[in-house]
Amino acid sequence: MVDGKEQRLMLAPNSILCPPSSIHAVNMSPLHQYLILSALLFCIGLAGALTRRNAIIVLIGVELMLNAANLNFIAFWRYGPNPEAQTGLLFAMFSIAVAAAEAAVGLALIIAIYRHYKTTNLDKVDGLKG
Amino acid sequence: MADAVDQIFVTLKHWLVGFFPEALQPVVSALLSIIPILSVFPFLFGIATVLERKGLGRIQNRYGPNRVGIPLTNIRLCGFGQFVADGLKILTKEDVVPRSADKLVHFLAPVMLVVPILLAYAVLPVGRNMVPVDLDAGILFFFAVGSATELAVFMAGWSSHNKYSLLGAMRAIAQMISYELPLVVSSVTVVMMAGTLSLPQIVAAQSGWLWGWLPAWNVFTPWGCTGFILFVIAAIAESNRTPFDLPEAESEIIAGYFTEYSGFKFALFFLGEYLGMFAVSGLAITLFLGGWQAPLPWLTFIPSWAWFFLKLFGFIAFYIWLRGTLPRLRTDQLMNFAWKFLLPMTLINIVAAAVWFYSRHWAVPGGLAGRWILCAALVAVPYLLFGRAFERTVPKRVYRYAT
Amino acid sequence: MSLVFFILAAVTLAGAAGAMSLRRPVHCALSLVLSLVGLAGLFLRLGAQFVGFAQVLVYVGAVAILVVFAILLTNNAEIIGRSSTVSSGWLAGLGIAVAVFVSLAAAMARSSALNRPASPPPTASVRDLGTRLMGEYILPLEVLGLLLTATMIGAVVIALHERRAK
């Protein structure tokens, strides 16, 4: 499972990768916690988007990646230097709207491809392969 | 004195919370807000089912249920004990799950229907100072949790592994999504004019009386009247009531997405549907009918929460009346109605609301009456044009009588 | 280290892991919904009320239903046969994801900017957001409206049944 591997790596006492202070979770600042969570979410989405064969599940992975980025923006708005400007909030709002638009078009494309190839298996949709 | 009765529940809650230590007080306060919601609205659901059966019966020239009163006695109570009997019956029924059904999703679907709808009651101001949580973005919260119910409908239809359930679920979702748009856009006019998304503040913006007798409710303005009518039509469609109940009509699709549900899960679906009806009626009351406010200045001795529930009863009676009177709409008629009539009308309503707002300072001939006629004409002319356009698609009816 | 944060993070990650690894596409979509709800909870915890509710309204109420409809229309709900759900190069994909996570975590651990103390929660009233949207950000808002209109028309045109040439 994707999650297990990443968990094991995070806890590895490898001083090259991470200084000792951030192995123990209690020392992390809240911003750090949110960023680790968002990185985990992003990588789970990336792993799914790169491994699964079904086109719709790949799209779900892409949505997860977009959501992870949104979490990043909101976390930085909350703990960042200038929260009164609300830039993080607005960026996340626009990102949600654009992601919805992209999901709609992506799914319409998948439906059109299904009608033509009679499958959503990405390994089979390779007509342009050289 | 009237004030004390009005705030009786608030003072009761503060008194009860005072018994607990400081650390526990937020939790107890939240619990004391939740428990009345969980007890009053399902009780209202029971009463509404009996009222509906009796009301429909009278419309159809027969008595409704009139035997079941207090159990183990001879007191009949005009049949109002029926909901207790029905509840006990449905709790003791066998829970049949199809063998090829997806067990987990089948189990979670009714739960996922009821929980978001109960969440929606958290932002409704039931009386003066009586809103469980005053969110800054109250209306958005309401619509957000309302849209989570559509997923529950899909889960119910898909997990039953039954093609009629799936078909009913797809139709129901298409209907709910289509009517969500006029619902939200017609509430945008209210938000625009009140300048806030918070429901208690919207109620406060409708306080006062013009000329001593006309309440300043939104329904008494041209944009508010149109918005109210559009909102109520969309609300009836959202809660799958007649004339929009094709997804669950017995003669059409064998109860649609809850065909394969029996026993308590079916009761949960039923409960969820009625609770949704009450919640969206409560929102209509808050947005357009002035919430918990009394209509006339000399009627303020009746407590605010009593006014809210009186208005809610009016809505329930209206829904029962519609159910007994109107025939069902077909799916394509339903969708055309939403997209080609309701949605453009709501957009035109926004323009009318803007004209109403800015014409406060114009020199309109006729003063207030002139503004009213101008804004009403802005809405009525497109309505007539749309009506003419729709009429052309329906051929003239030919009546043949036996002679 | 808050219990609420842990619960929400666990729900979100469980939903995401489920969305990427379950066999049936409908289960994946429902798992995604769980993850999105967890994320909305995290947004609310960070004090972004409007974005949290908009996330539920847009993602759970619209995108999830779109995904579910697409799954049903591409007739994938019944196919859970012997065929593998992962493509042939799955190990490379997994490796890339792990490498990305490791590099992100390393960059975060080394950064000193992350150790600032927690500031008091900012007040983000909806009125401020609205004023800003209609003031500074009016151009992106209008472009977004145009984009959504084009998307709607485009999606309908792409997914429309082709007319049979006579």
d(CA C149, CA C138) in angstroms, rounded, equals: 17
Instruction: Say yes or no to pLDDT of A68 above 60.
Output: yes
| pLDDT at site A14 | 42
* pLDDT recorded at residue C152: 92
Which pLDDT score is estimated for C86?
75
- Residue C1 banded pLDDT, cuts 50, 70, 90: low
pLDDT at A117: 85
Is C75 an 8 Å CB contact of chain A? yes
Q: Is the pLDDT of residue A74 over 70?
A: yes
pLDDT value at position B339?
92
Mean pLDDT of B260-277: 89
Sign of CA dihedral C38, C42, C45, C47: negative
Residue of A nearest to C151 (CA): A101
Q: Residue type at B47?
A: I
Rounded to 5°, the CA angle B125-B129-B131 comes to 35
Query: In the predicted model, what is the mean pLDDT of residues B347-370?
Result: 86
d(CA B341, CA B161): 35
Smallest CA–CA distance, residue A125 to chain C, in Å, is: 12
Distance separating alpha carbons of residues A22 and A34, to the nearest angstrom: 14
User: Can you give the pLDDT at residue B59?
Assistant: 94
Residue B41's pLDDT band, with cuts at 50, 70 and 90, is: very high
**Residue B209 to residues B193, B310, B373, Cα–Cα distance (Å):** 17, 20, 21
> What is the pLDDT confidence band of residue B23, given thresholds at 50, 70 and 90?
confident
Q: Which residues of B touch C26 (CB under 8 A)?
A: 105, 158
Mean pLDDT of chain C: 86
Q: Which of B103, B147, B150 to mutate to test the interface with C (most CBs of C within 10 A)?
A: B147
Structure tokens at B337: 């109605």
Confidence category of residue B350, pLDDT binned at 50, 70, 90: very high
DSSP H or E segment with residue B371: helix B367-393
Task: Reduce the DSSP state of residue A23 to 3 states and report it.
Answer: coil
Closest Cα in chain C, distance from residue A49 (Å): 8
Mean per-residue pLDDT for B182-202? 93
* Tens of pLDDT, residues B217-258: 999 989 999 999 999 999 999 888 878 887 776 666 666 777
Token pair 């590895």 is at which residue?
A12
The percent of residues in chain C predicted with pLDDT above 70, rounded, is 89
Nearest to B136 among C27, C56, C125 (CB): C125
Q: Calculate Rg over the CA atoms of chain B.
A: 23
pLDDT, tens only, B49-74: 999 999 999 999 999 888 888 877 88
pTM: 0.89
Cβ-based contacts of C127 with chain B (< 8 Å): 195-196
Distance CA C154, CA C158 (A): 6
With cut-offs at 50, 70 and 90, classify the pLDDT of residue B332.
confident
Kindly report each contact of residues B376-381 with a partner whose C-beta sits within 8 Å and lies 24 or more positions away, as own/partner: B376/B222, B378/B222, B378/B348, B378/B351, B378/B352, B379/B222, B379/B223, B379/B226, B379/B345, B379/B348, B379/B349, B379/B352
Q: Residue B54: how many CB atoms within 10 A of its CB?
A: 20
**pLDDT, chain B, mean:** 89
The mean per-residue pLDDT over the stretch C44-61 comes to 92
Q: A52 to chain C: which residues are within 8 Å by CB?
A: 20, 85-87
Q: Which residue of C has its CA nearest to A75?
A: C46
Confidence of residue A21 (pLDDT cuts 50, 70, 90): very low
Contact A57 C25 (CB under 8 A): yes
**Residues 6 or more apart from B65 whose CB is under 8 A from it?**
B50, B53, B54, B57, B79, B82
- Banded model confidence at residue C90, pLDDT cuts 50, 70, 90: confident
Of C47, C108, C152, the CB nearest to A78: C47
Largest Cα–Cα distance of chain C, in whole Å? 71
ipTM of the complex: 0.89
d(CA A2, CA B341): 49
DSSP string of B166-226, one letter each residue:
HHHHHHHHHHHHHHHHHHHHHHHHHHHHHT-S-HHHHHHTT-SEETTTEE--GGGSHHHHH
Report how far residue B125's alpha carbon sits from residue B32's, in angstroms, rounded to the nearest whole number. Answer: 15
CB A95 within 8 A of CB C59: no
Q: With bands split at pLDDT 50, 70 and 90, how would you rate the model's confidence at C80? A: low
CA distance C140 to A87: 13
Query: Does the bond joining B243 to the residue before it have cis omega, within 30 degrees of 0?
Result: yes
**Region B117-143 average pLDDT:** 91
pLDDT band at residue B397 using 50, 70 and 90 as cut-offs: confident
Q: So what's the pLDDT on residue B330? A: 84
